[in-house]
Structures are given as structure tokens and as C-alpha cells.
Structure 1
């Protein structure tokens, strides 16, 4: 609908801009990062898991898990309660403890990305339980889980509370204004696509897939496994994340610094491996949820 009263429209636009400025920042891989993670995961699903995923995906996805892996960000205003589920804050220390760190700003326990992964994993396990039919919206559970597994692999999703995972550390990325969190969400991936992959995300995905089957092949079995045959093990992913945040993301960064090639080239391998780990682990979790053959074995097998 058009707006015939320009003064009224100007006031409404100003109100909207103020509202958006005050809205809480969502900490998340950028859309590209989630797309990459889910594109890596889907070919690694077993036949049983692939079938379940196809049945649960919304029709608009047309069978492509990656197309809905940013959905959890698009509903952040509709589901405000879910905002703290995208991240974990530690009290300025380089270690993670679930009991200390997994809560929202009201102190409600389990309201963090690790708690969310546990919760949506438990919901999806009811997929074949007819007595639980209708208890959960399993399509949303799948989309939330796929997103949050990606999120927990972004190192600054397990960052410091004081700077909101780097969101309040302003800096310049080459010549552009940015902040530390945005550098890890968007800028490093965008720069890699531009410099090394001719701005083609598919080429970047193919390169990561080659590394999974070749360069990182000896590490992949350990990525897939969970202690005590758990279906998902987000505490381990979170511990990795805060360690990487301290060693690589925060290291040598101060407010208003200019980050250029040295930071980019030394941090890109960390980002690439975390994208790959997120995809491999998402596949492993979905395989263990939907395929009983994977519950004890804990290994990803391609369909």
C-alpha cells in the first residue's frame, strides 16, 4: 500500500528505524555460512536420515536443507524467546561450563545454543514415536537444529559476555567499518569467496568437501563421535569454540584496529575447518536421530 501522507510516513519510518536500532543483535554465521554448513551435511546423510529430512522439510525448500538453514534468523522477531539460543556467553574466561554459562539474561537455565541443540535433538528423536505425534512441530525442530549446529561452530558464538561475542568491538575490515563478530560471521567468508573462489559459493563448498575426504580425512571420525554414544554433544563443540575464540578471534584485536591480510589469511583456515566440522557433525547428529544403525556406531555414511 502506498502512503499519501508524507509527514505520517516519515514519522512511522523513524519509529521503525529506532525500533530496529534497539533490537537485540542476533549472533549467527551469516546466511552464507549456514548455507555452506548444510550443503556439506546433506550429502552425508544415510538413506534413512535423508528420507526423514525430506519428509520434514517444508515444501518451499524443494528438498534442499540448505535453503532453510537461515530460517531461525528470519523469525527472530516472531520468536523473541529464541534470541539467546543462538550463542553462549562466558564471563570473560577462555573455558566453557554448561552450568555456569548456558542461560539467558534472566538467568533461565538451558537457554543457550548448547541447550537448544539438546532440546531440538530430543524433539526430533520422537519422529518415529506415534504416541508423540503432534507434540512438537518437527519441521521447525529440524530447521532450528540445523541452524544451531552451524551457530555453535562459529567461534564467537561462545565469546565473552562483556563484548557480546565481539559485537561491541568496532574495527575496520580493510577499508570497511565492521565489528569483530561480523568479521567472523560474514567478512572472512566473503573475502575468501572474492579472493579464492571467484565469488562462487559452490566452488568454496566443493573445496571444503575435498578437504573433508582428503586433507582432514584422518580427523573426520573424531569430529563425528560423541562420548558415551550421545546423539549430540554440543558441550564439546562449545569448548572448542571458546578456545578458538581466545586463540584466534580475540587475539591481538583492540577497538578501532584495522584488520587486513595478515588477520584474514591466518584466520581463514579456522573458519573453513569450523564450517566443515559443522556440516559433518550436523549429518552425524541427524543420522543418529533418524537411523538406528548409527546410534551406536556414530559414523557418517554417505547415501
Structure 2
């Protein structure tokens, strides 16, 4: 075994046994890159002004120098402990894939990713708030839109978003789980599959498909990602994502990987386009979809 292979194996072992960050860095940063390329010049200028004020967050170990840095800030601050521990549950929502979709049950108290996308958008729109609050809202929004489009952050089988669902990734055996596969191993392969990167992923969507992608509400997008989560479990568990657990550690087979790659690429594209739309509505003066008009949650 070469030294490089041992290093890679050690890295995979470590990441597989710890709580996975959604999309790892590559997925989040690609969503952010797509969004920055799609926003209006007015919005882009407003984003740069917010980024210039990012030192007000006082998180020097997690600097924000670009929208791509903002996309991973909410994961970067997790090790800061009590200071940001309140936000841990904001990264996901556990909508049961084996029951009818119910966003209200999955987010009864507002501490879930879809509610926090709406909250961050409202805060970003509110010019009366202190600059620091709006910078933080911007960073959370960029990250959480990416999270929502990682399907294991939108639906699961009461298994912590697939973290408790063992999974082999093709020939790669070991202590992995379905969440890790979709966060990084499959995501990295999908994003880099030709035509790779943000421009390659966007090139697969027609103008009509791009317009359709940004329609609807955050709840609509949640349902869509929840549906992809159903497919993720089905592909791992042999066609029935709600069936009994197979003996041993199930394997995501090569044909399922091939089938899932375009699904994941489409999720990244949707995330980037929708993030751009939300940023344009909050910062660029674009008219929002009526279903996304700012509203406050009732207690």
C-alpha cells in the first residue's frame, strides 16, 4: 500500500466515523459559485459589501472572503461550541420518507433547515438590522440552501439522515453510511463528472428548466429533496427504501451510482439557482414569488 493510499484511507476512516458535513466543501462551494454567477450585478455588489463586513462576525478561524467561504461558514463554526450550538439542528429536517410528506411535523418548532432559510432571507431583507446580523444571515442562508438540497438533510428513516444506515460505496467497503456517501463520495464524483464544475452542471439545464427550478416555495423544494431521499434509500436497499434492513452492510452498486449521479447534479444546480433567486429578492430588489413573501412564524 502506497503512502498516498494510506493517507486517503485514513482520511476516509476518520470522516466516516464522525458527523458528516453536508455536501462536504465541494458541494457547498459549487452551489455558491452557481449562485454568484446567476445573481444580478446589483445583488453581486451587495454580496461583496456584506463580505467586506464579515470580520464583524468575530470568527477569525472561519473567515469569509468570498461567497464560497460563506457557504461553509456554518459548518466551520461548529467546533466553536456553546457560542453557536443553538444552530446545530438548523442544518436538516427529519421528514420520514416512509410516511406522507409533512413539513410541519418535521419542523414543528422552527429549528430546521427550511424554516431557517426563510428566517435568514427575512433578516437579509431587513436593512434596519445591525450589519453583523445581516452578514450572519447571509452566511447561514448560503449554507442552508445547500443543505436543503442534500437529500439526506431533507428526509430519512429515523436514522439521523442516514448516519445510522450502514453503506458500502461500490467496491469501497468500511465504516461508511448513506449520509457520508451522499455528502462526499457520490457528491464529489457527480460534480466532477464531465461536464464538471458549476458551468458544466448548469449547461445541462435549458433556460426553461432554469426558470422552472426557481418557482415554488421552500416547502416545495423540501418536498422535492425529500423525494430524492426516497430514491437514495431505494437504490441502496434494493428498490424498497422502506423495506427491512438486508443482512450485512448493503452496497450502493455501480448501476445505482450511475443512476444517482444525474440526480445529485440536478440537486446542486437547483440549489445554486434557488440561492441566486433568494439573494436577488433579498438584496437586488427582485420581485419574490408570492409563496416566498416574508412571513413570521406564529408561536
Q: Normalising TM by the smaller chain, what interval?
A: 0.7 to 0.9
Deviation at 1:288, TM superposition (A): 0.8
Describe the superposition over 1:156-213 as per-residue Cα deviations: whole angstroms up to 9, x where unpaired.
111225211111111211223221011111011233466x45xxxx94222112123x
Distance 1:27 1:159, change over 3 A: farther
Measure, in 2, the Cα distance between the counterparts of 1:242 and 1:176: 26
- Residue 98 (structure 1) aligned with residue 100 (structure 2): no
Distance 1:42 1:250, change over 3 A: same
RMSD over aligned Cα, in angstroms? Answer: 2.7
Deviation at 1:133, TM superposition (A): 3.7
Q: Which runs of 5+ in 1 are unaligned?
A: 1-19, 104-108, 227-232, 299-303
Measure, in 2, the Cα distance between the counterparts of 1:293 and 1:171: 43
Q: Which residue number corresponds to residue 214 of structure 2?
A: 224
Q: Which residue number corresponds to residue 76 of structure 1?
A: 78
Describe the superposition over 1:56-104 as per-residue Cα deviations: whole angstroms up to 9, x where unpaired.
1137544x3112211101112331111111101024535432321104x
Residue of 283, 287, 295 corresponding to 1:290: 283
Measure, in 2, the Cα distance between the counterparts of 1:27 and 1:138: 24
- Residue 270 (structure 1) aligned with residue 241 (structure 2): no
Distance 1:133 1:204, change over 3 A: closer
Q: Which residue number corresponds to residue 178 of structure 2?
A: 180
Distance 1:39 1:190, change over 3 A: same
- Residue 146 (structure 1) aligned with residue 132 (structure 2): no
Distance 1:268 1:296, change over 3 A: closer
Deviation at 1:24, TM superposition (A): 8.1
SS in 2 for 1:89: coil
* 1:1-303 pair list within 5 angstroms: 25=19, 28-57=22-51, 58=54, 61-62=64-65, 64-78=66-80, 79-103=84-108, 109-127=109-127, 132-134=128-130, 137-160=133-156, 162-173=158-169, 174-177=171-174, 178-192=176-190, 196-197=193-194, 203-212=196-205, 216-226=206-216, 233-253=217-237, 254=246, 256-295=249-288
